[in-house]
Amino acid sequence: MILSEALIKFSGLHLNSENNWYHWRESKQEFLPEGIQLNKSDNQYYQNVSLKKQLSKQYAEANPEIKIKLTKYYISTWGGIHGNKSDTLKCYALSCPDGLRKRREKGIASWSKALVIRDPSQYAIYDARVAFSLNLLQIVYPVGKRYLYPLLTSRNTQAGKWRQFILSQSNGWERAGDDFYKVYLNMLSEVSESINCDISTLEMLLFSMVDDLFVRASSNS
């Protein structure tokens, strides 16, 4: 089994028409960028999908100043990452995708968000929770060739426990290469085509289900 097949199996346990498994900080209406509206009756999964699409549409039509503001909103206000300097946010907002990908894991939790609002059908967030889930999937399922995806720092109180467990189980794994983000996107694309969903759904599943995967991986080990 390869990682994409493991993700397909895991997705089959959770994806449905409601997708009520996704929970993140609520996108409060008063903080939304001008011109963006979310349906209050939608659950957080559908609101997040709508938010990405609307931000992407605005970004495509915006001047550089507005692109920076939209990027700052998604990274800082929505994403909760407040440590980026103004010049860094400008870089994330305006640099070409190839230039951002060359940064590899440095700032990836931020710059991958910047890429998502450019095109959520092509790019996906890679943050600490996604990283944990990608590694835990390889423990839960009988993946043959296993790769250790970069583990990012996290403020989550459980992160230390997840990290320690993954490192204790990953002896002999090959480290994911410098192109790990591209490999991650290709896998999401392959799985999305196989099960007829979009890559945002898969990324949100990985983000949301890290604790579930940890429990299952701990049981397996």
The pLDDT of residue 25: 66
* Whole-number Cα distances in Å, 98 to 95, 107, 115, 131: 8, 14, 10, 21
Rounded to an integer, what distance in angstroms lies between the CA atom of residue 41 and that of residue 50? 13
Task: Give the whole-angstrom CA distance, residue 130 versus residue 125.
Answer: 8
Query: Which residue in 151, 180, 179 sits closest to 164, CA to CA?
Result: 151
Helices (H), the chain: 3-14, 44-61, 64-72, 86-94, 97-101, 108-116, 128-140, 159-169, 180-195, 199-208, 210-220
Query: To 10 degrees, what angle do helices 180-195 and 199-208 make?
Result: 110
- pLDDT confidence of residue 155: 83
- For residues 59 and 74, the answer to whether their CB atoms sit within 8 Å is no
pLDDT of residue 157: 85
Hey, what are 75's tokens?
């990274």
pLDDT for position 110: 97
Contact 55, 119 (CB under 8 A): no
pLDDT number for residue 20? 92
pLDDT score for 158 = 87
24 within 8 A of 48, measured Cβ to Cβ: yes
**Burial (CB count within 10 angstroms: exposed 0-12, middle 13-18, buried 19+), residue 206:** buried
DSSP notation for 95-113: S-HHHHHTTTTTTHHHHHH
Neighbours of 124 (CB within 10 A): 27
Low-confidence ranges of the chain (pLDDT < 50): none
Interstrand relation of 147-148 and 174-175 (parallel, antiparallel or unpaired): parallel
The rounded distance, in Å, linking the Cα atoms of 148 and 65 is 38
* Whether the Cβ atoms of residue 108 and residue 186 lie closer than 8 Å to each other: no
pTM, rounded to two decimals:
0.94
**Phi and psi based region of residue 36 (left: phi greater than 0; alpha: psi -120 to 50; beta: remaining):** beta
